[in-house]
Chain A
Amino acid sequence: MSVYKHDYRAYTGEVTPLWTRVNVLARYAFSEAWSSKITVTLFTLSLAPIIVFLILIYVANNPIARALITRGNPQAFAIDAKFFLKVIEMQSWCALVVTAWIAPRLISFDLSDNALPILLSHPISRVGYISGKFIALFSSLSAITWFPCLLLFAYQGYSSAEHWTAANLPIAFGLLVGSLIWIAFLSLLGLALSSWVKWRVVATGVIFAAVFVPAGVGGIVTAIMRTKWGFLLNLPFIMSLLWQRLLGAPEFMRSGQSIPTTAIVIMLGLACLLCIAMLNARIRAREVVRG
């Protein structure tokens, strides 16, 4: 006769709601992203232009400083939609650099260490996994894009004459929406490409290439086919057009050469869908061994 002791009891205590578990992944992703000194350095460097823009706003609003520097040219330091377009463009380039560094750290390590099967064997869905990583990247990028941009806007509103803020609220709206669109797209692009190339080193290069190479290809299409639609492949270019329209800055393309906003939105939408499809194909609890 055998005696079997059934001492083992499964956990029957309370569990947190499913949606809050995304925060666990986000927290780990944050800690992974910021564990590198290079992340901190890049983040600090990304805020350097903000200091420069802050000084410019101060100078523009200080009569003595303005008189000394502009020497009677009132247009030299105009704080308007064009100025904030420069701000958002600069911060967006910084966001691209930070994405190329952070995004591969969030996903490539899991893939190269074959950690996905372990992570996804927990009660966390694939959507939850990507959301956790997305939150970490999106929040990090927010800290160098829309947040400092809006602080600059607020500082300008505080420093300038009474009605400036009310009259220029569309700029604040443009800064917020324009930045959110860009960083949401960058986050998706960074995660999708990192999930496809597996190795972090390669992923960093591919993220840059994914922005620059289509721009070059778009340039070729435009030049050879004598059409403006090639510019749609030039992400920095179409984003600049979009920001310019959101902020209400003057059009910088010749009429007839410009791209309609609808086309830009459709292009960005298609790019996002492609990224989601890429993530859907790769973020799975399996390891493919070809033999």
Chain B
Amino acid sequence: MMNAKAEAFKDDLAQQPWSLYLTQTRRLTVIELRRNLVSWRASWIYFLAFVPTLIIFIHLLFDSHPQSTMSDDSNVLAGIVQLYYIRLGIFFGCLGIFSRLIRGEMIERSLHFYLLAPVRREILLLSKFIAGSVSALLLFVTAIVADFVLMYAAYGPAGRAYILSATGLAQLEAYVAIAVLACLGYGAVFLLLSMMFRNPTPAAMLVLGWEAINPVMPSLLQKLSVASYLRHMMPVSIAGEGIFALLTVETEPVSGWVAALGLLMLTAVVLIYSCYRIRKLEIRYTTE
């Protein structure tokens, strides 16, 4: 019985027009990218991503850089990634980008054009997710790489040597991986929230609160937090101070790979549930 079902499932998969799905995904992604990145309305996401880069650039131009302050700057950079990008920049950036994908279209009353296209709703959702992720990654990863390079480039040959050293590259790799996972994780969560709630922002603020109180939760519940996974991957650990203490979490040690896999699995589960939700989605603009 189980074998017959498995066979039927395999046959069904084989019969799907995968090349058409690929074409549609590519096309939808291009349409969304055009709207996410090449638009005056997207300028605020550029601001969120590149404001630290601008500040570091000013620092590079106007401040002196004695060798002794390089480790301090390493801590500052770690703080920027951990406390600014993960908690604020990527959080609010992804909230804006991914909430717009479905809920934004409903507010602007244009989602029906997509639902009336010969595109499976799951393909539509995943394409929009890919487009959102590419937009977020393009901005935030570029910004983090620029931050890293500018921060150390100020130290002349020593700084350049550090950038190209194994330690420097490993640090950069970790920051990029953190940014990628943060974008995917928050992106999936906000995409789902935007389908579940007419105004996803209060729910997103609860997510922000949840991320903040997560360390005091039992171990099992800690696995439901994006930031707790990311913290395990930080190459430089920093202690929160002042207002940032609220945003700093301490979780049980987990290896980087497990953390990355855990977050990817969390993202996959959220996306699968989102696919289920979009199949049931109805166009009722009057309630927006």
Instruction: Tell me the B167-192 residues at the A interface (CB within 8 Å).
Output: none
B84 adjacent to A209 (CB under 8 Å): no
- Interfacial chain B residues near A219, Cβ < 8 Å: 79, 83-84, 243-244
A201 adjacent to B107 (CB under 8 Å): yes
Among A204, A209, A217, A237, the residue within 8 A (CB) of B243 is A237
- A205-B96, A205-B201, A215-B243 known; A220+B48 contact, CB < 8 A: no
A216 adjacent to B88 (CB under 8 Å): yes
- Min CB distance B182 to A, Å, is 15
B79 adjacent to A209 (CB under 8 Å): no
Question: B52 interface residue, CB < 8 Å from A?
Answer: yes
CA distance A199 to B198 in the complex (A): 12
Contact with B along A192-219 (1 / 0, CB 8 A): 0000000111101100110011011101
Contact with B along A96-107 (1 / 0, CB 8 A): 010011000000
Interface residues contributed by chain A, number (CB under 8 Å): 28
Question: B204 interface residue, CB < 8 Å from A?
Answer: yes
CA distance A250 to B48 in the complex (A): 35
Question: B17 interface residue, CB < 8 Å from A?
Answer: no
B56 adjacent to A216 (CB under 8 Å): no
B95 adjacent to A205 (CB under 8 Å): yes
B76 adjacent to A223 (CB under 8 Å): yes
Question: B219 interface residue, CB < 8 Å from A?
Answer: no
CA distance A237 to B63 in the complex (A): 26
- A199-B107, A213-B48, A224-B55 known; A204+B201 contact, CB < 8 A: yes
CA distance A142 to B63 in the complex (A): 45
Contact residues on B (Cβ < 8 Å of other chain), bracket: 20 to 34
Among B58, B76, B83, B96, the residue within 8 A (CB) of A216 is B83
- A219-B244, A220-B55 known; A204+B79 contact, CB < 8 A: no
Question: B43 interface residue, CB < 8 Å from A?
Answer: no
- Interfacial chain B residues near A224, Cβ < 8 Å: 55-56, 59, 73, 76
B88 closest partner in A (C-beta): A216
- Interfacial chain A residues near B200, Cβ < 8 Å: 201
Chain B positions within 8 Å of A, measured between CB atoms, are 48, 51-52, 55-56, 58-59, 63, 73, 76, 79-80, 83-84, 87-89, 92, 95-96, 99, 103-104, 107, 198-202, 204-205, 242-244
**18 pairs, CB–CB < 8 Å, chain A vs chain B:** A201-B199, A201-B200, A202-B99, A202-B104, A205-B92, A212-B88, A212-B92, A213-B88, A215-B243, A217-B51, A217-B52, A220-B51, A223-B76, A223-B80, A225-B59, A226-B63, A237-B242, A237-B243
Additional A-B contacts beyond A205-B96, A209-B92 (8; CB < 8 A): A101-B202, A201-B99, A205-B204, A208-B201, A213-B89, A216-B83, A216-B88, A223-B79
